[in-house]
Structure 1
Amino acid sequence: MAEGPDLTRRNLFLGRAAAEPRAVEPIIAVISQSCLALRGVACMSCRDSCPSGAVRFELALGGARPRIDAHGCTGCGECVRTCPADAIRIGPHEEAS
């Protein structure tokens, strides 16, 4: 006799009969190379619009460079709406190697 899933009341209550959830990658803002600040133009509209303060600029040769604080970004998309160069998208967090 083939064994089916254990559907006792306790297992259903604890959620053991459901399939295991897949790991979800965090969704954050990702800045592309078409960013005005990366091209030497003084633009910080994404930083100014970010409600969580996750868009930060680091000083670098040639001007400030944007970066996203992955732990602070909520994926709300406010920076996407305000970017004049359409250089930001919301997507999975990709660890830098």
Structure 2
Amino acid sequence: MTEVVDAQRRQFLFGRFVQEPGASEPPVAVIGSSCFALQGIACMSCRDACPTGAVRFELVLGGARPRVEAADCTGCGDCSAACPADAVQLSFPESVS
């Protein structure tokens, strides 16, 4: 519970307002093809900037590949701001009804 409150406070301080729980899902970070890590360049700026640890890297043949744990992503946008390749965008998840 403390992590959720702290994440909401952090978002508020940076001018990002949290939607009411249950209103709709928050945006989730999506990593695009211009990502340096996907091109074999060692970069983990998005992971280092993520306050919740939602951005993780998997070791694969040829380097590390980024992935986003949607359940941990708060949609704060810190990873997007830190990306030198502008490869991280925030996207609203598809709602399943």
Same-fold call, TM > 0.5?
yes
Partner SS state of residue 48, structure 1? helix
Q: Report the Cα offset of residue 24 of structure 1.
A: 3.1
Instruction: Please tell me whether residue 33 in structure 1 is matched to residue 42 in structure 2.
Output: no
- Structure having the larger proportion of residues in helix: 2
Amino acid at match of 2:62: G
Cα RMSD over matched residues? Answer: 1.7
Q: Report the Cα offset of residue 26 of structure 1.
A: 4.1
Give ranges in structure 2 of 5+ residues lacking alignment: 1-22
Amino acid at match of 1:92: F
TM-score scaled by length of structure 2: 0.70
d(CA) in 2 for partners of 1:86, 1:65: 16
Q: Report the Cα offset of residue 34 of structure 1.
A: 0.4
Partner of 2:65: 65
d(CA) in 2 for partners of 1:66, 1:84: 14
Q: Report the Cα offset of residue 27 of structure 1.
A: 1.3
Structure number, greater radius of gyration: 1
Amino acid at match of 1:49: A
Q: Report the Cα offset of residue 52 of structure 1.
A: 0.3
Instruction: Please tell me whether residue 86 in structure 1 is matched to residue 81 in structure 2.
Output: no
Partner SS state of residue 35, structure 2? coil
Q: What do residues 12-31 of structure 1 show as CA deviations (whole Å, max 9, x unaligned)?
A: xxxxxxxxxxx734410000
Instruction: Please tell me whether residue 76 in structure 1 is matched to residue 76 in structure 2.
Output: yes
Q: Report the Cα offset of residue 93 of structure 1.
A: 2.8
Q: Report the number of matched residues.
A: 73
